[in-house]
């Protein structure tokens, strides 16, 4: 797509902008960005990525072939109402907002192609994990364009819309869980006396190595864990402590709570 409009200029919008401009998916000057009030933020993005700041009434809005909604979910309805009459009738819509259903876009923006996705902030470095659902108005060419745009920032899986709640919990929020785990590992290591810098570097290497082993797909996660876990050894003791603390239950509860919240957002709660 030649012209892409972002409604919202927060961290997710920036992550996608960084990915698509770095990969050449869209020319920076053809990326139009607007938000509710923070003009300094738009100038920051302009200086950083070469995008074009816009506001309601600017002709660039009507030129957009794709409008990416990246506001906070609570501001979604207001944003749709503000821009509805300014979008070209043929412009497609891509949502990156948690919990906002396709039906809301159809209600407020009329009959047009609508895609709903949930990337994560690893889009900044081209390693996002994104779920995508589309309505019946999305033609094959538009689907390919959206898949190409999202594919420029990482992995994309097309799913049914209802599955996006779970993907939001798993992939959209997933980086935060990994960072939280790294934070806990670092805190445990430094509390026990290891230098903070050494702990951080070792943890990063552990995570990178484990991810690389998983990506090879030569063994299931359980098999890889078993290869490291000698009976009666240090790893076995650590795994036993995690089990005693309810690690698997905590992870399951984490995913369920995030999925439930996504469904609550979709129902306006």
- Residues in binding site for NADP(+): 7-12, 70-73
User: 92 is written with which tokens?
Assistant: 């497609």
**How far apart, in whole angstroms, are the C-alpha atoms of residue 237 and residue 29?**
56
For the chain, the DSSP string reads ---EEEE--SHHHHHHHHHHHHTTSS-GGGEEEE-SS-HHHHHHHHHHH--EE--TT-HHHHH-SEEEE-S-GGGHHHHHHHHGGGS-TT-EEEE--TT--HHHHHHHH-SS-EEEEE--GGGGGT-EEEEEEE-TT--HHHHHHHHHHHHTTEEEEE--GGGHHHHIIIIISHHHHHHHHHHHHHHHHHHTT--HHHHHHHHHHHHHHHHHHHHHTSS-HHHHHHHH--TTSHHHHHHHHHHHTTHHHHHHHHHHHHHHHHHHHHTT-
Residues contributing to the annotated binding site: 7-12, 70-73
């Amino acid at each position: 797509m030649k012209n892409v409009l972002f409604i919202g200029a927060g961290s997710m919008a920036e992550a996608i902008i960084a990915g698509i401009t770095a990969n050449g998916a869209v020319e920076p000057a053809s990326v139009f960005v607007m938000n509710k009030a923070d003009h300094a933020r738009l100038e920051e993005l302009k200086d950083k990525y070469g995008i074009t700041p816009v506001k309601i009434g600017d002709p660039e809005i009507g030129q957009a072939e794709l409008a990416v909604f990246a506001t906070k979910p609570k501001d979604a309805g207001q944003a749709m109402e503000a821009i509805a009459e300014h979008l070209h009738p043929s412009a497609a819509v891509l949502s990156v907002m948690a919990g906002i259903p396709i039906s809301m876009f159809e209600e407020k923006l009329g009959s047009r192609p609508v895609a709903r996705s949930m990337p994560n902030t690893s889009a900044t470095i081209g390693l996002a994990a994104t779920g995508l659902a589309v309505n019946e108005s999305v033609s094959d060419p538009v689907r390919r364009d959206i898949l190409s745009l999202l594919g420029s920032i990482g992995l994309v899986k097309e799913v049914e819309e209802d599955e996006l709640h779970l993907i939001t919990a798993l992939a959209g929020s997933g980086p935060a869980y990994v960072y939280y785990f790294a934070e806990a590992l670092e805190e445990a290591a430094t509390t026990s006396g290891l230098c903070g810098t050494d702990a951080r570097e070792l943890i990063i290497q552990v995570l990178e190595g484990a991810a690389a082993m998983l990506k090879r797909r030569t063994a299931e996660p359980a098999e890889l864990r078993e290869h490291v876990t000698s009976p009666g050894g240090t790893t076995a003791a650590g795994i036993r402590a995690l089990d005693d603390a309810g690690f698997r239950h905590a992870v399951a509860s984490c995913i369920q709570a995030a999925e439930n919240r996504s469904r609550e957002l979709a129902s306006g709660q």
